[in-house]
Amino acid sequence: MDMIQLVFEISFMVFWVSMFIIRYPYAQRNKSNVIQVNQKSTQEKWLLGCTALGMILLPAVYVATPWFDFADYHLPDILGVIGMVLLSPASILFYRSHRDLGRNWSASLEIREQHSLVNTGVYKYIRHPMYTAIWLWVICQALLLQNYIAGLSGFVSFGLLYFLRVGKEEQMMQTKFGEAYIAYKQKTKRLIPRLF
Ligand code: SAH
């Protein structure tokens, strides 16, 4: 392996570990929340399983073993460097969205007891900043782990989860918060802030 490929892999794995560290305290704290509405369907469970495979297990296997090496690809170095640069906005947005959602966060489609509608912090600009962060994450994964299996699996699995979930999530929020969510939707875009 080239030196630069190694640098790409290591930087992705440092990022990958820090994502767990960012999420951990929120996952712990929110364990005690009482769930009021649970829309975790069988489809949702499968999709969550796929993203765990594509974003956690396959990258870990790739860096720890030579098993997937036959499926490597090689991108121009500049694309790997862009991937490294994108790791910062991805982690900042991931952290900020956890902090702003606080106890309203959950890995799945759920409404908690005393759920509040968050429309401040990064949520003032976009409705799904955590998904924006995860999109950046899976783009970085494809640019930095240059492998058809471990590099693309994040993009494909999260892409599937995102497109099958986001409409349902907004529907769930609208059922819970009514006019307030409709007004919030009119002021924001899903993933990328409106510039004007
Ligand atoms: N889609 C959001 C949140 C992902 S976590 C983002 O990308 O940042 C998923 C859970 O967050 C959902 O089950 C829902 O209960 C909750 N949620 C989503 N948007 C919210 C908001 N604006 N305020 C409060 N909770 C929200």
Q: What is the CATH number of the domain that holds 93?
A: 1.20.120.1630
Q: Are 13 and 150 in contact (CB under 8 A)?
A: no
Residues with CB under 6 A from ligand 1: 97, 101, 104-106, 109-111, 117-118, 123, 128-131, 169, 173
Query: Is 192 among the domain residues?
Result: no
Please tell me the residue having the least CA distance from ligand 1 atom 6: 128
The closest-lying atom of ligand 1 relative to the alpha carbon of residue 184 is 22
Structural domain boundaries, residue 75? 3-22+38-103+110-187
Which pairs with CB-CB distance under 8 Å and at least 24 residues apart come from 58-62?
58/149, 58/150, 58/153, 58/154, 59/12, 59/13, 59/16, 59/141, 59/145, 59/150, 59/153, 59/154, 61/150, 62/145, 62/147, 62/149, 62/150
Ligand 1 atom nearest 97 alpha carbon: 8
Distance 91 CA to ligand 1 centre (A): 18
DSSP at 55: I
Q: Is 30 within a domain?
A: no
- From 168, 169, 175, the mutation candidate for ligand 1 (largest count of ligand atoms within 8 A of CB) is 169
Report the residue among 95, 97, 104 best suited for mutation to probe ligand 1: largest number of ligand atoms under 8 A from its CB.
104
Tell me if 196 is assigned to some domain.
Answer: no
How many domains are there within the chain? 1
Count Cβ atoms below 10 Å from residue 78 Cβ, excluding itself: 9
> How many residues belong to the chain?
196
Per-residue pLDDT of the chain (196 residues; tens, 9 = 90+): 789 999 999 999 999 999 999 999 999 988 888 888 887 788 999 999 999 999 999 999 999 999 999 999 999 999 999 999 999 999 999 999 999 999 899 888 889 888 999 999 999 999 999 999 999 999 999 999 999 999 999 999 999 999 999 999 999 999 999 999 999 999 999 999 987 6
Protein residue closest via CA to atom 4 of ligand 1:
130
For residue 99, being part of any structural domain is answered with yes
Ligand 1 centroid distance, CA of 73 (Å): 35
pLDDT for res 170: 97
Give me the pLDDT at residue 196, please.
Answer: 67
